Amino acid sequence: MDMTNEEAEKLLETPKFIVLNDEKIENMKIPTNSAAVNLRLNAISDDGEHMFLFTVQQSAKYNIKITLHFQEDNTKVGLLRIDFNGCHKNPDVITPHVPLFIQPYASKFFDFEDHHIHYHVQGYKTLSWAVPLAVDVFPVKTIDDFTSFQQAILCFGKRIRLNTELDIEKRLFL
């Protein structure tokens, strides 16, 4: 499924709720029984009901990824992901679909300490393009402790218009 940048942004801006057993959840404690938390989100917009996957992954090396994927049938299209302590290389080729704010980062390699945020760009593999968090509007630039970890998840929830209130248990942080 090839989605335009505008369609991706519209999906990001659509209000979402966590859904468990087909029930909309108003408040939720984030489960702490693994290094990966996967939550199903639903949203209703003018063009129907949509399903999303909200994931928080942590590795033993303090790599933390917070991701939102749009789900349609058996396909997943990444809409937004933040990588703390992860490596990535942006594509070399800039097409007309690459937004101006991303273009300066063509071919950029993000090292372990270069925290970055990935955006959907039409015509590229899911979440191929990223910009440094240092220059992005996302307010949490680094994760140093539980408080910044919690803030990163809560701010990400706000950015993706998650209307379920989250309570992140302290032991989730490695």
What's the chain's Rg over C-alpha atoms? 16
Phi-psi region of 73 (alpha: psi -120 to 50; beta: other; left: phi over 0): left
Would the CA dihedral through 158, 36, 1, 25 be positive or negative? negative
| Helix, coil or strand: residue 156 | helix
> What pLDDT sits at residue 31?
60
Cβ–Cβ < 8 Å for 36, 55? yes
Distance CA 110, CA 130 (A): 9
**Mean pLDDT, the chain cut into blocks of 10 residues (174 residues total):** 87 90 86 70 80 82 76 78 92 97 97 93 95 96 87 91 87 52
Kindly report the pTM of this predicted structure: 0.89
